Amino acid sequence: MAKKDTKTAKKDTNKEAPAAPTDAAGNMPLFYSNPVPLDAKEHAKLGLQKNFGFKFTDGVNAVPVNLIEMPQICHFYPIAFSPDGNATPVAILGLRDNENLFLQADGKWEANTYIPAYIRRYPFIFSELPGGDQLTLCVDMDDKVIEEGGEQSFFDAEGNASELANNALEFCKSYHAAAQQTVEFSKALAESDLLVDREAQINVAGNRRINFSGFKIIDEQKLGGLDDKVFIEWRKKGWLPFLYAHLFSGAQWQRLTYLLNNRLEKEAA
């Protein structure tokens, strides 16, 4: 990102970038309402509100995750795959519709819990401008997170990108590279016939049962019978740890149940 040119990175033309989750209207990536390219002149006095928190994740019970973070994700969230044919890996955040069990009332995240990169990236995002072959750093112009004249400005007095903006640029570069790797993995997984539809039946307080569906998981029996040639190919690509991370993450359904029961107790009090 420069003073007048926000183009930041060459688009990878060999692989198609993953389709970002969209809002209910299907118009914008999840969480984003008005992402615009950062511009030194137009946004000279703007910056991020300090400690705006994670309230933007309210009402979301799953977010996409990248391949490289799955070994961390599996210690905190169940990992599932989208049922839309893309086999996008997602972290499950809640068991009821429109509920994020990791978001606290004060906007903070559940303590001592890894936060998925998709969430940490907000409000920044890369966007491809029409007719271009480069990616541009954009920011979501939401008045809940953006302010004028604050301490965390996007540009300094000379119009140079601030440390905040430069860090955001580097993070988005890393995220984009990881997303490209995830696309290849997801495509191979979707074509492997290893994924099966699943429904989680969760018993919660008050002798109630919650049925959570609309996701896919890897069938362990099918994985055990995976063709040796394919298995070796995936091993060479370094994908095996991510397959196992998904399988290990199944233990985190119990954690979601625990968090939901705590919330139900508070709601009943």
Rounded CA separation 154/42 (Å) = 11
Q: What pLDDT shows up at residue 131?
A: 55
φ and ψ of 163, to 5 deg? -60, -40
Residue type, 66: N
Give the C-alpha distances (Å, rounded to integers) separating 105 from 54, 100, 108, 117. Answer: 10, 11, 7, 21
Per the structure, the complete domain to which residue 159 belongs is given by 7-268
3-state secondary structure 247-261: HHHHHHHHHHHHHHH
On whether residue 81 sits in a domain, the answer given is yes
pLDDT digits (tens, 9 = 90+) for 229-262: 999 999 999 999 999 999 999 999 999 999 999 8
Contact criterion met (CB below 8 Å) for 117 and 172: no
The answer to the question of residue 201 being in a domain is yes
With respect to residue 11, please indicate whether it lies within any of the assigned structural domains.
Answer: yes
Helix, strand, coil percent content, the chain, rounded in steps of 5: 30, 25, 45
Q: Can you give the pLDDT at residue 236? A: 97
In a domain, 1, yes or no: no
Of the CA atoms within 13 Å of residue 222, those in its CB half-sphere come to 11
- What radius of gyration, in Å, describes the C-alpha atoms of the chain? 20
**DSSP secondary structure letter of residue 109:** B
What number of residues does the chain have?
A: 269
Residue 16 gets which letter from DSSP? Answer: P
Rounded to 5°, angle at Cα 171 from 109 and 167: 95
Q: What is the pLDDT of residue 5?
A: 41
pLDDT lower than 70: segments of the chain: 1-27, 128-133
Closest CA to 34 of 170, 113, 109, 143: 143
- Is the residue at 2 inside a domain? no
Residue whose token pair is 């970002």: 20
Q: What is the DSSP letter of 67?
A: G
- Grouping H, G, I as helix, E, B as strand and the rest as coil, residue 100 is coil
Is residue 22 a part of any domain in this protein? yes
Token representation of residue 264? 């139900």
In a domain, 75, yes or no: yes
The total number of structural domains in the chain stands at 1
In three-state secondary structure terms, 65 is coil
- 6, 39 contact by CB (below 8 A): yes
DSSP-derived pairing of the beta strands 35-37 and 134-140: antiparallel
Return the closest-CA partner of residue 46 out of 152, 196, 127, 138: 152
